[in-house]
């Protein structure tokens, strides 16, 4: 069953994210949106992956073009190729006319492939080729058609596990995840709960033709304490129902019909314990393991690992890496050259001292 094409004129909905972790995510969105890089958005069902995808599209140079959202898990296994890439008349039983696929529909804009982990392996090969060649071949045709599409993908499964199990192609994963954005569950973004609730109240009051409504203090407390196994989607449904039963425009705690279901446990049993540890405790555990292994030149290895991790976290941006670590750009650049993360034309080589270490600097 095909997923309806989203209206190209539909504006991106507001991202009502106020939690510090959400604000950090939006900072990354603003950084990567102007590029044409593929983005993989990772998060549990209902965390707002399509909202983030729409925001990326709205902030890109393609914002005037179409935004097409396709749920890969909802596509019929027998027709998924025709849905994505299109088909010619007579290509299969029931193909009474030629039809463009979702890639052609998104030409000049953005194609959002939700639940990409559900795409059959055989189709993953063809998707990879389309991304590499930037052209599609309709089912039943031998003629390729060029396309100009930015692909954003999303998943609620751990693709590294799917790769190990042979259910997802590693080369496609790297093609899709030039940039990876991780959306935390709503329970881990507590400062987003009430702003989102107020947003949904305002939105549904307009839709239902109700007078403005507000949350009672007891209702606010109940919302903050709920674990939200269904994430933002559950919160939206709760607010919608509450507006139907509340009186005098005041949502009381008793109006909130909250699920008794608990959040699913982490796939890795040790992950739950790790989540309860502070950053300092996790570092102490890692250092203890290094001490037990008695690794030589430990200080330098830790320093190098920190720099590599920071450089990747900052999407290979030297200035942001330097700011994150509290170093000057020249010191950061020198370390990256030494680690092989940067290659330069050596026109002039100098030296400078950092503590007891002498580093070569290429400029």
Phi, psi at residue 42, to the nearest 5°?
-115, 130
Task: Please give the C-alpha separations between residue 279 and each of 182, 185, 284, in angstroms, as whole numbers.
Answer: 18, 19, 9
pLDDT at position 267 is 47
- Which domains are delineated in the chain? 20-184 (3.40.50.300), 187-255 (1.10.8.60), 277-362 (1.10.10)
pLDDT at position 346 is 52
pLDDT digits (tens, 9 = 90+) for 114-138: 999 988 888 899 999 999 999 988 8
Using CA atoms, how far apart are residues 348 and 80, in angstroms rounded to an integer? 56
Helix axes 298-313, 279-293, angle to 10 degrees: 140
Return the number of other C-beta atoms located less than 10 Å from residue 1's C-beta.
8
Per-residue pLDDT band for 6 (boundaries 50, 70, 90) equals very low
Residues 6+ apart with CB under 8 A from 106: 65, 66, 67, 68, 147, 149
Question: Assign residue 362 a region: left if phi > 0, alpha if psi is -120 to 50, beta otherwise?
Answer: beta
Using CA atoms, how far apart are residues 89 and 96, in angstroms rounded to an integer? 5
Give the residue-averaged pLDDT of 284-309: 72
In this structure, what token pair is assigned to residue 41? 């958005």
179, 11 Cβ separation under 8 angstroms: no
pLDDT at position 279 is 60
310, 324 Cβ separation under 8 angstroms: yes
Per-residue pLDDT band for 14 (boundaries 50, 70, 90) equals low
Task: Considering only CA atoms, give the Rg of the chain.
Answer: 25
- Most confident segment among 77-81, 221-225, 331-335: 221-225
pLDDT at position 293 is 59
The pTM of the full predicted model, rounded to 2 decimals, is 0.67
Whether 29 shows a pLDDT value over 80: the answer reads: yes
Give the residue-averaged pLDDT of 204-220: 94
Give the residue-averaged pLDDT of 74-84: 79
In this structure, what token pair is assigned to residue 317? 């941006």
Least confident of 138-142, 163-167, 209-213, 253-257: 138-142
Whether 275 shows a pLDDT value over 50: the answer reads: no
345 compared with 113, residue with greater pLDDT: 113
Helices (H), the chain: 20-32, 49-58, 80-85, 102-105, 121-133, 159-164, 170-176, 193-208, 217-225, 231-245, 269-275, 279-293, 298-313, 318-325, 329-338
Give, in degrees to the nearest 5, the angle at Cα 177 between 65 and 66: 10
pLDDT digits (tens, 9 = 90+) for 41-54: 999 999 999 999 99
Whether 2 shows a pLDDT value over 50: the answer reads: no
């Amino acid at each position: 069953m095909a997923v309806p094409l989203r209206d190209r004129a539909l504006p991106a909905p507001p991202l009502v994210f106020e939690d510090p972790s959400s604000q950090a995510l939006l900072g990354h969105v603003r950084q990567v949106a102007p590029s044409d890089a593929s983005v993989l958005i990772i998060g549990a069902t209902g965390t707002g992956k399509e909202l983030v995808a729409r925001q990326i599209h709205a902030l890109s140079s393609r914002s005037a073009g179409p935004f097409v959202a396709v749920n890969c898990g909802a596509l019929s296994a027998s027709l998924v190729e025709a849905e994505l890439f299109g088909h010619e008349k007579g290509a299969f039983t029931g193909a009474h006319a030629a039809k463009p696929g979702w890639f052609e529909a998104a030409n000049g804009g953005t194609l959002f492939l939700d639940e990409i982990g559900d795409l059959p392996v055989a189709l993953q090969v063809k998707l990879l080729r389309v991304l590499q060649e930037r052209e599609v071949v309709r089912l039943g045709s031998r003629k390729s058609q060029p396309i100009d599409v930015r692909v954003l993908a999303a998943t609620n499964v751990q693709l590294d596990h799917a790769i190990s199990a042979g259910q997802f192609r590693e080369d496609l994963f790297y093609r899709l995840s030039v940039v990876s954005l991780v959306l935390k569950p709503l329970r881990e973004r507590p400062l987003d709960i009430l702003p989102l609730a107020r947003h949904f109240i305002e939105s549904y009051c307009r839709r239902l033709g109700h007078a403005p409504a507000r949350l009672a203090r007891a209702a606010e407390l109940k919302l903050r304490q709920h674990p939200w196994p269904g994430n933002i989607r559950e919160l939206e449904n709760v607010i919608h129902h509450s507006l139907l039963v509340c009186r005098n425009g005041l949502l009381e705690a008793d109006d909130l019909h909250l699920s008794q279901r608990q959040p699913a446990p982490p796939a890795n049993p040790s992950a739950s314990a790790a989540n309860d540890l502070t950053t300092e405790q996790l570092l102490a555990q890692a250092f203890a393991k290094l001490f037990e292994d008695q690794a030589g030149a430990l200080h330098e290895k830790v320093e190098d690992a920190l720099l590599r991790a920071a450089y990747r976290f900052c999407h290979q941006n030297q200035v942001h890496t330097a700011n994150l670590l509290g170093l000057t750009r020249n010191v950061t650049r020198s370390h990256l050259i030494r680690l092989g993360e940067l290659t330069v034309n050596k026109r002039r080589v100098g030296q400078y001292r950092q503590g007891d270490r002498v580093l070569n600097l290429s400029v």
